[in-house]
Amino acid sequence: MAVEKFPALAEMGFEEPSDIDRYTTRIEGDVDILKVYHRRQQGEWMTKSKKFKFKRLHKKLRVNEGLTAFRDTTESSPFFLKAITELDKLVAGDKSSKAKKEDILEEMEHLNRVVSRKIEDLRRQIEEL
């Protein structure tokens, strides 16, 4: 996938946007936090991720058409919104190709493998005692 299609992601340091699997966002105080997860490569145990922080813009809004005082508020930065828009395009394209049922079955299979390995490891530890 061309980096030119995703200029905000390229500016954030993503050389290969097709490696992005999913993302999460949250607000902490006056900062928007974006966490981007990469696809796990063959043989890797942990999913790689990058975390970005974006300062929120502070604004004063007039309340009741100016009859009362102004109210302080914050909103997301334009660059953060642009990055989210690009991530939505990227992730939505992936999700449309896979059915939700297949995703759940894949997660269940992965969980089954992890639990099986852990049980084997615990049995090995018991045998060593």
In this prediction, residues 77-104 reach a mean pLDDT of 79
Instruction: Output 25 or 19, whichever has higher pLDDT.
Output: 25
Give the list of residues 6+ apart from residue 3 with CB closer than 8 angstroms, or none.
Answer: 9, 10, 14, 15, 16, 17
Alpha helices, DSSP H, located in the chain: 7-11, 78-97, 100-128
42-62 pLDDT tens trace? 776 766 888 999 999 888 877
Q: Give CA 21 to chain center in angstroms.
A: 8
Task: Return the amino acid letter for 12.
Answer: M
Mean predicted lDDT score pLDDT of the chain: 83
102-126 pLDDT tens trace? 777 888 898 899 999 999 999 999 9
What Cα–Cα distance (Å) separates residue 47 from each residue in 36, 40, 68, 78, 87? Answer: 10, 5, 50, 28, 18
Taking the domains of the chain in order of start, what are their residue ranges? 3-97, 99-129
94-108 pLDDT tens trace? 555 556 677 778 888
- Give the C-alpha separation, 86 to 41, whole Å: 23
Q: Is the pTM above the cut of 0.85? A: no
